[in-house]
Amino acid sequence: MAVLEILKFPHPVLKRRSQEVSRIDEGVKKLIHDMKETMYEAGGIGLAACQVGVPQRVIVLDVSPMDPQHHFFALINPEIVSEEGEVEHEEGCLSVPDCLEKVKRKAKICVRGLSPEGMEAEIKGEGILAIALQHEIDHINGMLILDRVSRLKREIYRNKLRKEKRKEEKV
């Protein structure tokens, strides 16, 4: 059991497409367990392996604080297989601290992947579940919420980071 460090923007691992998991072994199961602990410790509802420095296609989610019927689950090699509608929702990200932005997402999606036991899994979601799934799948595809907002908002966030870095360097 370990709480892992969550990488922050602009770390380069966050911008690369993660690799498929070819074999679900004890290392992958431990990663999932550690990601779960890390997500809960950070107060998040989702986490992708790349956010903890492991560029593999593994995500964990627990949207139960916002939607009590959906509890913790992990998916390996998740892919969106169908989507419909559109919704705009304010999102935050553990790797992009102090950034809350409205992001357009698909309203309903269907995702296929593997369970930690290696079984095929299919998850249909709408509402916060669909949003969280898309957010985490974006991560393993090398995308951040900053990639889904306007250039101006992205620059405002980058300038804020530069300003904070200069403050830290003066201390």
CA nearest neighbour of 137 among 3, 44, 26, 46: 46
Cα–Cα distance between 171 and 169 in angstroms, integer? 6
Cα–Cα distance between 92 and 13 in angstroms, integer? 19
Residues with Cβ within 8 Å of 151's Cβ and at least 6 positions away in sequence, in order, are: none
To the query of whether residue 126 is one of the catalytic residues in this protein, the response is: no
Name the token pair of 152: 């101006």
Looking at 26, 41, 86, 136, which residue is catalytic? 136
**Helix, strand and coil in the chain, % to nearest 5:** 35, 30, 35
Q: Which amino acid appears at position 44 of this protein?
A: G
Cα–Cα distance between 16 and 78 in angstroms, integer? 16
Q: Which positions are annotated as active-site residues?
A: 136
